[in-house]
Each structure stands twice: as structure tokens, then as C-alpha cells.
Amino acid sequence: MTENEILAMYEDAGALLNGHFILSSGRHSARYLQSALVLMHPRHAEALAAELIARIDPDAFDLVVSPAIGGLVIGQEVARQLNKPFMFTERKDGLMQLRRGFTIPEGARVLVVEDVITTGGSVRECMDVIREHGGIPTQILAVVDRAPDQPGRFDVPCATALALHVETYAPQECPLCREGVLPAVKPGSRGNA
């Protein structure tokens, strides 16, 4: 798929939202990508995972790990196509953790998969957890990079299927807050929007 085809997939699914959003990083934005609305269709998830896998050496990993919740669907699908185990990290009391009885074999080479990256904070926290548990994060895959102009976010290679620059603002510098027309919303907290 070309980047335009992937973008069309997002638009067709109503997954490119316009408004006033608080991102998971705490920054504000006028646009939000709701990948869940694309990935809810298994065929889309399958196609996007295949796109991501085409960018890596599929034999270079022992398992796939994603930060919940965003990375769960695409991470599971990538792992399914690679026929590798899939685990996830999740926040509890604000802290990224490996729970649910998951254990990472010592020295396991880990492919980290996320749906959308911006600052990359969740992915970095996920990689910290993997390292604390003896794994070696070696590659990141994400469907969308929302800040392709920010190099150096990660200390391992990162490949994405779609680069889509979306302006974000620190809350105190947000022009949408200044206009005060639209209240800022956390997209995840409103169900599918």
C-alpha cells in the first residue's frame, strides 16, 4: 500500500478527527487519529500489519510486545503473521508495567509495535519495562508517525507505514485553548471519539 492508500483508509473509517484534543503526552492538537476505527476491521489490521512486517527482517525477533491500549490490536496481528508470542505492557497507577503473568525470556529479541507515535513516550516506557525484565528491544514498528520531524526519539530503529505531521501544542501555548471555543477532550475518554 502507498501512504495515500493508508491515509484514505483512515479517512474512509472516519478515523481522522478534527476538534481540540489532549494527547496521551499531555499536548494539545486540532487533529486526532483514532486508529481503533481502522483496526476494528480485521482486514485493515491484517493489511497494515503486513505493510509493517515488510519493513523488517521477520526472523530477527523472538517476541512482540506492545504498550496497551493503542498497540494491542496491531501488535497482536503483527505477532500472528510472524507466528511469534505477543505480550503487552500497561499502565497501572500511571506506571508502565508488565502484568498478567507475562515473563520475557532472558535475552529475548523484542519487536515493539504501536499504532500511533508522537513523542514516543509510551513506546520508550514499554522498552524500559522490556529491558527491566531481561528482554532486548531491537526494533519499533508503528502504523502512523504523527511527528516525523522529531528524530532521535528512540535508541533503536523505528519504521512506520504512514508519516503524517500533525501540529501539537503545549497546553499553555495552545491556540485552541486561547480561542476557548471548543473544550479540550481526551479522545480515549469519549469511547470511540
- Residues lying near Zn ion in the complex (CB under 5 A) are found at 28, 174, 176-177, 184
The residue (of 69 and 184) whose beta carbon lies closer to Zn ion is: 184
Residue 24 Cβ, how far from Zn ion at the closest point, in Å?
15
Residue 108 Cβ, how far from Zn ion at the closest point, in Å?
41
Residue 94 Cβ, how far from Zn ion at the closest point, in Å?
22
Q: What is the 3-state secondary structure (H, E, C) of 18-87?
A: EEEEECCCCCEEEEEECCHHHHCCHHHHHHHHHHHHCCCCHHHCCEEEEECCCCHHHHHHHHHHHCCCEE
The residue (of 19 and 85) whose beta carbon lies closer to Zn ion is: 19
CB-closest chain residue to Zn ion: 174
The residue (of 52 and 174) whose beta carbon lies closer to Zn ion is: 174
Residue 174 Cβ, how far from Zn ion at the closest point, in Å?
3
The residue (of 7 and 30) whose beta carbon lies closer to Zn ion is: 30
- With a CB cutoff of 8 Å and minimum separation 6, the contacts of 12 are none
Residue 2 burial (C-beta neighbours within 10 Å; 0-12, 13-18, 19+): exposed
